[in-house]
C-alpha cells in the first residue's frame, strides 16, 4: 500500500496559514493583498480554473478583481489593462490565465506584467531569480504548479538530498521550474521530454518522478521503480461513454499505486496545491511591498 498524497488537505493547511498572515497584514497595515484575475475568451477549462482560483482567494481574505475580456480582445487592449493593473495600488498579484487566443503573443503579455506583481512567477526576471538563488527563498515568486508539487513532496518528510529526480516535460509552466526547484533541494535532476531516447529506462531509475506530459494515463508500472514517489501533474478529461466523462492524470493510477511508496491522485493531488500557491505568491508580493 502506498501513501496517497492528499493535495486538498495540504492545500488547506497552506490556505489556513495564509489566512492568518493576511489577518495580521490587515491589522498591522490596514490593507489586504489584491489579486487581478484576467481571462481572455471562454476556454472551458480556463473558466473552471479561474472560478476555483477566485473562490479560494476570497476564502483566505484576498481582494479579487475579475477581468473577463472578450475572445476578440487584441494584444494592445490586453496590455493596456495590464499597465493599469501594474499601476494600481490595490493590486499585488496579476494572473493572466493561459492559453491566450492565438492572435495574442503570450510572451509579450507575460513580460508586460511587473515582476513584483507576477503572481504566476512566469516573468523572465522571476524565472532568472529562481534559477540563480541558492535556495527556495521565501520572497521569490515561484511558478505555482511546480511549487505545489514540491510542497507535496515535503509533506512526506523524506530526505530529498542526493535523490534521483526525473521530471517528464519541459514546459515553462511546469517542467523547467520544477527542475530548478528540485535542483535547489540538491536532488540529481534529469528532465526528459518528447525527443528523449528511451524515456522509460530513465524514469525507472527515479526515486522521485514528476509527470507532466499531458497524455492521459500514459505512465504505467513498467516505468517506475519499486518504492518511488510519484507526482502526477496531468489533468485530462476522458470520455467514459456518450454522456459521461472523468478526470484522469498522466499516470495509470491503479497500475502504479501498488508498486510505489507515495503517489498523488488526480483529482485531489496537484490541482488544489497550484491554487494555494497562487495565493501564497499574491501574499508574498504584498509582504514584499509592505515589509521589505
Ligand atoms: N494555464 C494552465 N496552467 C496555468 C497556470 O499555472 N497559470 C496560468 N496563468 N495559466 C495556466
* Residue 283 beta carbon below 6 angstroms from any ligand 1 atom: no
Q: Are 93 and 120 in contact (CB under 8 A)?
A: no
**What percent of the chain has pLDDT above 70?**
99
Residue 104 reports pLDDT greater than 90 = yes
pLDDT band at 135 (very low <50, low <70, confident <90, very high): confident
Q: Is the pTM of this model over 0.75?
A: yes
Examine residue 175 and state whether it is found in any structural domain, yes or no.
yes
Number of domains, the chain? 2
**Three cell numbers written together for 13:** 493547511
- Secondary structure percentages of the chain, helix, strand, coil, to 5: 45, 15, 40
Give the angle subtended at the CA of 76 by the CAs of 71 and 80, to the nearest 5°: 100
Q: Give the distance from CA 214 to its chain's centroid.
A: 14
Give the pLDDT of residue 1. 74
- Is the minimum distance from the CB of 145 to ligand 1 under 6 angstroms? yes
Q: Is residue 77 part of a domain?
A: yes
In the numeric block, which cell numbers belong to residue 157?
Answer: 518528510
For residue 47, is it within any domain? yes
Q: Mark whether 182 and 265 lie in a shared domain.
A: yes
Q: Is residue 282 one of the residues assigned to a domain?
A: no
Residue 95 CB less than 6 A away from ligand 1? yes
Query: What confidence tier does 292 reach under pLDDT thresholds 50, 70, 90?
Result: low
Q: What is the pLDDT of residues 175-207, one digit of tens each?
A: 999 999 999 999 999 999 999 999 999 999 999
Atom of ligand 1 nearest to the CA of 46: 1
CATH for 46: 3.40.50.10860
Active-site residue, from 53, 117, 163, 225: 53
Confirm or reject: Cβ of 185 under 6 Å from ligand 1: no
pLDDT in tens, 63-97: 999 999 999 999 999 999 999 999 999 999 999 99
Q: Whose CA is nearest to atom 2 of ligand 1?
A: 98
| Domain range enclosing 107 | 29-115
Amino acid at each position: 500500500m502506498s501513501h496517497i498524497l492528499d493535495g486538498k488537505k495540504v492545500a488547506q493547511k497552506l490556505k489556513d496559514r495564509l489566512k492568518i498572515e493576511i489577518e495580521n497584514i490587515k491589522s498591522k497595515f490596514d490593507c489586504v493583498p489584491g489579486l487581478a484575475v484576467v481571462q481572455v475568451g471562454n476556454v472551458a477549462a480556463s473558466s473552471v480554473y479561474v472560478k476555483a482560483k477566485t473562490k479560494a482567494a476570497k476564502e483566505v481574505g484576498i481582494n479579487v478583481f475579475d477581468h473577463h475580456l472578450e475572445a476578440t480582445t487584441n494584444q494592445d487592449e490586453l496590455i493596456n489593462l495590464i499597465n493599469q493593473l501594474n499601476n494600481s495600488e490595490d493590486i499585488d498579484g496579476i494572473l493572466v490565465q493561459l492559453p491566450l487566443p492565438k492572435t495574442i503573443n503570450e510572451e509579450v503579455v507575460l513580460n508586460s506584467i511587473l515582476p513584483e506583481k507576477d503572481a504566476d512567477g512566469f516573468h523572465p526576471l522571476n524565472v532568472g531569480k529562481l534559477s540563480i538563488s541558492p535556495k527556495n527563498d521565501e520572497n521569490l515568486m515561484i511558478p505555482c504548479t511546480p511549487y505545489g508539487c514540491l510542497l507535496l513532496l515535503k509533506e512526506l518528510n523524506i530526505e530529498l538530498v542526493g535523490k534521483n529526480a526525473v521530471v517528464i516535460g519541459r514546459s515553462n509552466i511546469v517542467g523547467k521550474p520544477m527542475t530548478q526547484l528540485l535542483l535547489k533541494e540538491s536532488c540529481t535532476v534529469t528532465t526528459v521530454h518528447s525527443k528523449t531516447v528511451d524515456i522509460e529506462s530513465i524514469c525507472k531509475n527515479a526515486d522521485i518522478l514528476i509527470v507532466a506530459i499531458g497524455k492521459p494515463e500514459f505512465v504505467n508500472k513498467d516505468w517506475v521503480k519499486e518504492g518511488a514517489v510519484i507526482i502526477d501533474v496531468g489533468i485530462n478529461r476522458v470520455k467514459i461513454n456518450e454522456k459521461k466523462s472523468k478526470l484522469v492524470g498522466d499516470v495509470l493510477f491503479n497500475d502504479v499505486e501498488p508498486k510505489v511508496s507515495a503517489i498523488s491522485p488526480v483529482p485531489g493531488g496537484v490541482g488544489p496545491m497550484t491554487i494555494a500557491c497562487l495565493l501564497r505568491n499574491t501574499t508574498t508580493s504584498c509582504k514584499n511591498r509592505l515589509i521589505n
